[in-house]
Amino acid sequence: MTRFVAYGVLALAALALEVTWLSDIRPGGAAVDPLLVLVVSVGLLHGPIEGAVVGAAAGLMQDVVTGVPLGLGMLGNLCAGFGAGLGEGRLYLEDLWLPAIAAFTLTIVRYAVWIGAGHMVSVLSVSLTEAVRVTVLAACYNGVVAIPIFRWLRRLDGALLRLSERPR
Partner 1 sequence: MFSSALLRHRRLIVFLTLGVVALAVLTEQVRTPDRRRVGWAGEAVEFALAPAATVLSRAGGAVSGAWSLLNEIGALRTENARLRAEVGRLREENAGLRPVAQENTRLGALLGFKEHQPYQTVATRVIGREPSDWFSTVLVDRGTLAGVRRNDPVVTSEGLVGHVIETGLTWSRVLLLLDPRSAVGVLAVRSREAGVAEGQGFPVLRVKYLARDADVQPGDEIVTSGLGQIYPRSLVVGTVIGISHAAGDMFQEALVRPSADLSHLEELLIVVRGGEQVAR
- For the chain, how far is it from start to end, CA to CA, in angstroms? 17
Contact mark string toward partner 1, 65..84, x via CB under 8 A? x-x-xxxx-xx--xx--x--
Count, residues near partner 1 per rule CB under 8 A: 33
Q: Which of residues 132-151 bind partner 1 (CB under 8 A)?
A: none
**153 makes contact with partner 1 (CB under 8 A):** no
Closest listed residue to residue 114, CA positions, set 68, 58, 61, 51: 68
Interacting stretch for partner 1, rule CB under 8 A, among 53-61, 92-100, 134-142, 151-159? 53-61
Interacting stretch for partner 1, rule CB under 8 A, among 29-37, 52-60, 132-140, 147-155? 52-60
Residue with Cβ nearer partner 1 (89 or 167): 89
Residue with Cβ nearer partner 1 (96 or 120): 120
**Distance between CA atoms of residues 133 and 127, nearest Å:** 10
Decide: 91 and 98 in contact? Cβ < 8 Å. Answer: yes
Residue with Cβ nearer partner 1 (122 or 129): 122
Closest listed residue to residue 138, CA positions, set 43, 22, 60, 21: 22
**Sequence-ordered alpha helix ranges (H) in 69-120:** 72-85, 98-120
**Distance between CA atoms of residues 138 and 150, nearest Å:** 17
Q: Please report how close the Cβ of residue 42 comes to partner 1 at its closest, in angstroms.
A: 14
Pick from 34, 43, 59, 143: which binds partner 1 (CB under 8 A)? 59
